[in-house]
Amino acid sequence: MKKMKRMKNLMKPVVGAAVAATMALGLVACGGSNEGASAPSESNDGGGDKTEAIEEMRLRASSGVTAKHFWDRGFFTPLMERIDSETNGAISFEAFTSGELVPLGTEFDALRQGTIDIALTFMAPYDPQRFPYSEVTMLPLLESDAVIASTAMQNMMKSDRELKDGKTYYEIEFADKGLVAFANPLTEPYVLGTTRQKIESVSDFSEAIRLRTASRVHEILADNLGITAISMPITDAYDALSRNALDGFFYNIPDWKAFGFDELIKHAVEGANFGHFVGHTAMTQETWDKLPADVQEKFKAAADEIIFDGASLTRDETDENRDSTMEKGGEFTHLNDLDPELREFISQAIVDTWVEWIENLEGQGHAGKEMALLWRDMIVEAGGVLPQEIMDME
């Protein structure tokens, strides 16, 4: 368990929110505790400073990634430190990393069962049956980066554009399921990396190549490329690659060192953006409602600002991770340096993946096209580049 004692104010372990009056009655959220004391919190209601007493509370939080992951270094820890500081230690956290408390990808059930108060790695793309829309960020692009994608996601979370039945993306994906969610920094673009097979021609793609995929989007993409997709959490990929149960993966370069992939990947194709992964920091509406209004505002402001610190962090660590991979014998080939036939093959697979993903969701009764067009517009507005065929969709 990763204790937050190293933090400013000796932050107590992470947990979702619990309000003073409720905790005084002993209705403490899972693992939370009433410290029996109050701390002042400064807030401004427009008419001058106002001091509000906040009863001390612990909020238990779970992260499925390691402390080395950029989400932890660039978002989770700074977010918790800031809330702890801005509430003078009244709101503290008990943080668990590496899936020590809750396995990666199972956070939704853990929130509903009361095992945790806050899911730092709420992985909607891992659960497309219940959360069909968030994996839209995995749709392949031409040009983008973590800051562009994080800007687009944050804008999409706040968008009032209706998807279906008069409801927005945020309402359908989170609010209707009793959740309050904030986007974590999105990853750098996913690239195709392999342990043995170097991709130099269309014929190098075959069903014999088994790649780890993170979502249904990548399963569709893999099918369009003619390779075999194996879905699994990224935390299981190192072992699978080591045992040759996998031949490679779609994954973003800045995370490679954190998981040890720089030791295993020998060939990678970059320059083709195979999507951005998104995770969220989430809690139940019930837990959120226990937080005093001024603390809610502090949480919103912190999440909205720190997301870009984390996005910049991972973007800046791309070269470091690439260099580490090359030092261990890995090599990178840019899409523009590939055989023209192969470039066209990959570009067509990108467009076909958008079309098939839309059709897949529409066939399940979801607003697939509306969701894809919303993400397209958000990513382009933020500075991303997509194939013309996608831009021409109406």
322 in Cβ contact with 267 (< 8 Å): no
Do the domain assignments include residue 303? no
Q: What are 304-362's pLDDT values in tens digits?
A: 999 999 999 999 999 999 999 999 999 999 999 999 999 999 999 999 999 999 999 99
Mean pLDDT score of the chain, rounded to an integer? Answer: 88
- pLDDT > 70 in the chain, percent: 86
Do the domain assignments include residue 170? no
Do 99 and 235 sit in the same domain of this protein? no
Strand, helix or coil at 230?
strand
Q: How confident is the model at residue 220 (pLDDT cuts 50, 70, 90)?
A: very high
H helices within the chain, ranges in order?
20-24, 70-71, 77-86, 107-113, 146-158, 169-173, 216-225, 237-242, 256-259, 285-289, 293-316, 318-327, 340-363, 368-381, 388-391
Closest by CA to 24, choosing from 36, 15, 12, is: 36
Do 94 and 234 sit in the same domain of this protein? no
Do 209 and 344 sit in the same domain of this protein? yes
Do the domain assignments include residue 228? yes
Domain boundary among 122, 143, 165: 122
Q: What are 247-260's pLDDT values in tens digits?
A: 999 999 999 988 99
Q: Compute how many other C-beta atoms are within 10 angstroms of the C-beta atom of residue 146.
A: 28
Q: What are 82-141's pLDDT values in tens digits?
A: 999 999 999 999 999 999 999 999 999 999 999 999 999 999 999 999 999 999 999 999
Domain boundary among 104, 122, 140: 122
Do 262 and 359 sit in the same domain of this protein? yes
Domain boundary among 122, 146, 164: 122
Do the domain assignments include residue 174? no
Whether the predicted pLDDT of 77 surpasses 90: yes
Domain that holds residue 339: 190-276+318-391
Q: What are 23-53's pLDDT values in tens digits?
A: 333 333 344 433 333 443 444 444 444 435 6
Tally of domains in the chain: 2
Question: Is residue 334 classed exposed, middle or buried when 0-12, 13-18 and 19+ CB atoms within 10 A define those classes?
Answer: exposed
Structure pTM?
0.83
Residue type, 251: Y
The pLDDT of residue 258 is 85
Q: What are 126-163's pLDDT values in tens digits?
A: 999 999 999 999 999 999 999 999 999 999 999 999 99
Do 79 and 199 sit in the same domain of this protein? no
Give me the numbers of helices (H) and strands (E) for the chain, helices first please.
15, 14
163 in Cβ contact with 366 (< 8 Å): no
Do 101 and 195 sit in the same domain of this protein? no
Query: Which residues, 6 or more positions from 225, have their beta carbon under 8 angstroms from its beta carbon?
Result: 205, 345, 346, 349
